[in-house]
Amino acid sequence: MTKELSSLNEVYQTIAKVTSLDDVLRLYQEFKGLTITFPTKLISADYVKPYLKKETQKGQQLWMYLLIFLNFATQPLVDILLVNPLKA
């Protein structure tokens, strides 16, 4: 296989080392002739925004639990959290 890889262009050699020669051939057939730029961010903003909103709401619920049920909060603090919840 090393002999086969050495016959490939450098970018295809790199991809083959990370994946496999079969994957390189599939990528070549699908994208040959195209210039591909990979985004620096792996996860899309369309996923991150709702995720952060959900996690923030979970975090707020946890804080409310800790403050109210474990009796760590004063009433003014509870009122502030209930009136102005965290916004994502």
Given a cut of 70, the residues of the chain with pLDDT beneath it are: 1-3, 59, 62-88
The amino acid at 8:
L
pLDDT number for residue 49: 77
How far does the chain reach from its first CA to its final CA, in angstroms? 51
Contact 21, 4 (CB under 8 A): yes
User: What CA–CA distance (Å, rounded) separates 63 from 72?
Assistant: 10
pTM for the full predicted model: 0.49
What gap in Å lies between CA 74 and CA 1, rounded to an integer? 69
> What is the C-alpha to C-alpha distance for residues 72 and 52, in angstroms, rounded to an integer?
26
pLDDT tens for 34-58 read 999 988 888 887 887 787 777 777 7
